[in-house]
Structure 1
Amino acid sequence: MTQASTAHAEFDRRTRPYRRELLAHCYRMLGSPEDAEDLVQETYLRAWRAFEGFEGRSSIRTWLYQIATNACLSALRHHSRRVLPSGLGAPTADPSGPVAVDLEVQWLGPLPDALVTDESDDPASVVAARDSLRLALIACLQQLSGKQRAVLLLRDILDFSAAEVAEVLDTTTAAVKSSLQRARARLDQLGAVDANSPTEPEQRALLDAYMSAFQNADAAAIERLLHRDAILEMPPATTWFAGKRTCVGYLATQVLGTPGDWLMLPTTANGQPAAVAYRRETGGGYRAFGLAVLTTTDRAIARIAVFGGANLVTACGFPAAM
């Protein structure tokens, strides 16, 4: 084995274990799984180029997070914040009207859990990671400046010390503490903390009932499942709906069709119950449509965020056609 291949093997051995958590970190920073994957690739390329000079004054993990975080901050200087439709304006009152689409908006995208968790992961770590990837939290993080985002994530999610964060961001501990205080206050103001998280069995029961109702084109069953203040949004559509009757009105008149038009399978994304959706083709069979991510209480579905794209279905580990 050559010296170069030995060095590459050593680099891979030491850095590979952090790839999934770095992807989650970059996603929290950027709100886009595609951008996050690009930045992780860039992080590993930068790290490999600098690996020979790595002196070990910090852990390899801290070093990788320093590279990744600063790469994300550089990227954020050239992009506007990612948003969901509900963050742009008022809901639409007419469920039977046309749906407006805007492909120029920087939309927040979902992150399939399969990309950042593994069956061998510690269960407590998986739960913590899922809580920190909730769609509502990611959307709120977009309201912070890049530096505040980085400080809050490194301190409160990754449990870095203030001194470690200061080293990562090349600043002072006093500046870190000040940024963290402002970031926490802003998230509290935005209502990012969910104090009443339902249990996994409760979430799964609601997901199963939702999939069954959708596949059976049963609008009445969906209405029974929705919270009275439920929200339905479907980026890249700027049109979104609020209130169970309006949401169901849209689904019944423009989406559900007839029984068997849709096929759904359970998964998880952003640490939340989700369903990959397939639409029946004219000649038979089903073609991947996208991913629906549910936000639930213990008894009802509070929000449905639908993201189109066969790539989301395959990223969750399902085929593009059935």
Structure 2
Amino acid sequence: MITPAPHTAFAVRTPDESTTAWALAARGGDAAAVDRFVRALHRDVRRYVAHLCADPQAVDDLAQDTFLRALGSLHGFEGRSSARSWLLAIARRAVVDSHRYAASRPRLSDVPDWQLVVERAQPGGLPGFDDGIALLDLLAALPDERREAFVLTQLLGLPYEEAAAVSDCPVGTVRSRVARARTTLVDLLAAADRPAVPAA
């Protein structure tokens, strides 16, 4: 008679457990694990960086920089936090470093109306494009700290404890920032839905 394996052998891993396991395997030199780790977290890193970064053209470069930094320091990752929160903390540092670099080197534009050129370069007419722009506009109205907390917890789905570790602040502060961000977003949506009152 064959004895069935213990139930724990069939336990399904959560996405965070899987990416953390791949990061640990990648640390040991497993090339397939590196590929899985990058593929699993690439979208989250891009979304997070896009919400932190003021330059949409820099998002791909910052995401790539994040993974280069992570792979270069993978030997120090011990799995005490999830690989996703560890990677998002690296992404945050990459964005901060890029802001510092940009502030120290002002860029000149040889186009008189550079904002119009940037707007025309953005893709339009795609399904959900208008909704995406509306969401970005609403999020842009939030203070930086509240926007970051909201994106980490509500859009990327990080637990509050991990969002606090990424943001380098107490859990209570993250909770407060998210609550205030929600209140602001609800107020902005309500104001947008109100019909305009014609001037007398």
Instruction: Please tell me the TM-score bracket, short chain as reference.
Output: 0.5 to 0.7
Q: % of aligned pairs identical?
A: 30
**1:234-275, Cα deviation, whole Å (9 max, x unpaired):** xxxxxxxxxxxxxxxxxxxxxxxxxxxxxxxxxxxxxxxxxx
Where structure 1 has 5 or more consecutive residues not aligned to the other structure, the ranges are 81-100, 115-126, 196-228, 230-322
- Let me know the Cα RMSD of the aligned residues: 3.9
Query: SS in structure 1 opposite 2:79?
Result: coil
Paired position in structure 2 for 1:67? 90
CA, structure 1 residues 4+24, in 2 after alignment: closer, same or farther (shift >3 Å)? closer
Pairwise CA distance, 1:176: 0.7
Read off the aligned partner of 2:42 and give its amino acid letter.
R
- State whether structure 2 residue 53 is matched by structure 1 residue 42: no
Structure 2 stretches of 5 or more lacking a match?
1-25, 104-111
Higher helix proportion (structure 1 or 2): 2
Shift of 1:40: 0.1
Question: What SS class does the counterpart of residue 183 from structure 2 fall into?
Answer: helix
Instruction: Report the alpha carbon displacement of residue 192 of structure 1 after superposing the two structures with TM.
Output: 8.5
Distance 1:73 1:186 in 2: 25
Matches within 5 A, 1:1-322: 6-30=29-53, 32-75=55-98, 102-103=113-114, 110=122, 134-191=132-189
Which of the pair is proportionally richer in strand?
Answer: 1
CA contact (8 A) 1:76 1:146 kept: no
Q: Are the counterparts in 2 of residues 151 and 180 from structure 1 also a CA contact under 8 Å?
A: yes
Count of aligned pairs? 158
Q: Distance in 1 between the 2:53 and 2:143 partners?
A: 11
Could you tell me the TM-score, scaled by structure 1's length?
0.41
- Hey, what's the Cα distance between the residues in 1 that align with 2:164 and 2:117? 30
Alpha carbons of structure 1 residues 106 and 67: separation in structure 2 relative to 1, 3 Å: farther
- C-alpha contact 2:85 2:163 (8 A) present in aligned 1: no
Distance (whole Å) between structure 1 residues aligned to residue 47 and residue 163 of structure 2 = 18
Q: CA deviation at 1:52?
A: 0.8
Contact 2:62 2:91 in 1 (8 A): yes
CA gap 1:10/1:148 in 2 versus in 1, 3 angstroms: same
SS at match of 2:181: helix
Q: Can you list the C-alpha shifts for 1:96-133, whole angstroms capped at 9, x where unaligned?
A: xxxxx621689677478x9xxxxxxxxxxxx9xx69x7
| CA deviation after TM superposition for structure 1 residue 183, in Å | 1.8
1:4 to 1:14, Cα distance in 2 relative to 1, 3 A: closer
In 2: Cα distance, 1:161 partner to 1:4 partner: 25
Q: Residue 134 of structure 1 aligns to a residue in which SS?
A: helix
Separation in 2, partners of 1:5, 1:172: 33
